Amino acid sequence: MFSHPSKRARQARLAIGLGTALAALLFFLWLAEEVLEGDTQAFDDGLRTLIHQYASSGLTALMQVFSFLGSLACLSGLSIVTGLYLAVVKRWRGLVHLAIIMGGGLILENGLKIGFHRTRPVSFFGIPTPPTYSFPSGHALLSLCFYGAAAYLMTRRFKGYGARILVWSSTALLVGFIGLSRIYLGVHYPSDVLAGYAAATIWVMSVALADRFYRRAALGPIDNGLSKV
């Protein structure tokens, strides 16, 4: 049996969630304004050049693997497999949570790309430039949505903090390398990747907070085991 967190712990988590969402929103708004005014160009070009200096055939192959792990094809397949698993074990809340996160993330990505219509940079290594707009990075946004949601659903079943830290650390590294791969391959500006992370954080935290408020309204302060994920 899992022990229920104290009222103080729940309030602390709520405060951290709200603070994180607000900080991500403010950062995204600031970054978007800087991009529209062209003030990130020196930063973007400088970091792209710096990263490209370390290019090698082996590193390029590795970055292509990380890029694939954040692709829509890969994340769609993983989402379907995860959704089927959650349905089989009847973790309906987890299934709904994942569907909302990924469906909303996809809508958010495309809406922001169309809204900002930023042209992509010239890619490296002769890689074809994707036909979509550049800002924000869909790989960064959707990978944080999926792998973050997966880590959340997984760590909900863990009692020990050590296992939770390991899962979240591994998730952060994976998502970070996916974003780095897009800069390394030259198909995104660094500011695109940062914006993708910020937008995903806003969305994921908003869904998590909405879910928390819903549970408190529906079940009261005590979760009687009905919120199985």
pLDDT digits (tens, 9 = 90+) for 45-72: 999 999 999 999 999 999 999 999 999 9
State residue 3's pLDDT score: 45
Asked whether residue 138 is domain-assigned, the answer is yes
Selected residue with higher pLDDT from 81 and 15: 81
State residue 7's pLDDT score: 66
Asked whether residue 48 is domain-assigned, the answer is yes
What is 28-80 written as a DSSP string? HHHHHHHHHHTTTHHHHHHHHHHHHTT--HHHHHHHHHHHHHTSHHHHHHHHH
State residue 16's pLDDT score: 82
Residue 226 has pLDDT above 60, yes or no: no
Lowest model confidence (mean pLDDT) among 93-102, 185-194, 209-218: 209-218
Asked whether residue 108 is domain-assigned, the answer is yes
146, 136, 149: which is closest to 69 by C-alpha?
A: 146
82, 212, 62, 65: which is closest to 147 by C-alpha?
A: 82
Average pLDDT, the chain: 88
The proportion of the chain whose per-residue pLDDT surpasses 90, expressed as a percent, equals 68
Residue 218 has pLDDT above 60, yes or no: yes
Asked whether residue 224 is domain-assigned, the answer is no
Contacts of 96 (CB under 8 A, 6+ apart): none
Q: How many CA atoms lie within 13 A of 227 on its CB side?
A: 20
State residue 228's pLDDT score: 45
Residue 14 has pLDDT above 90, yes or no: no
Domains held by the chain: number: 1
Residue 9 has pLDDT above 70, yes or no: no
What are the two backbone dihedrals, phi and then psi, of residue 131, each rounded to the nearest 5 degrees? Answer: -75, -15
15: domain range? 7-219
Asked whether residue 226 is domain-assigned, the answer is no
Task: Identify the band that residue 2 occupies on the pLDDT scale cut at 50, 70 and 90.
Answer: very low
What digits encode the pLDDT tens for the residues 36-51?
999 999 999 999 999 9
**How far apart are alpha carbons 189 and 182 in whole angstroms?**
8
131, 139, 143, 133: which is closest to 111 by C-alpha?
A: 133
Q: Do 178 and 171 form a contact (C-beta atoms < 8 A)? A: no
State residue 4's pLDDT score: 52
Asked whether residue 227 is domain-assigned, the answer is no
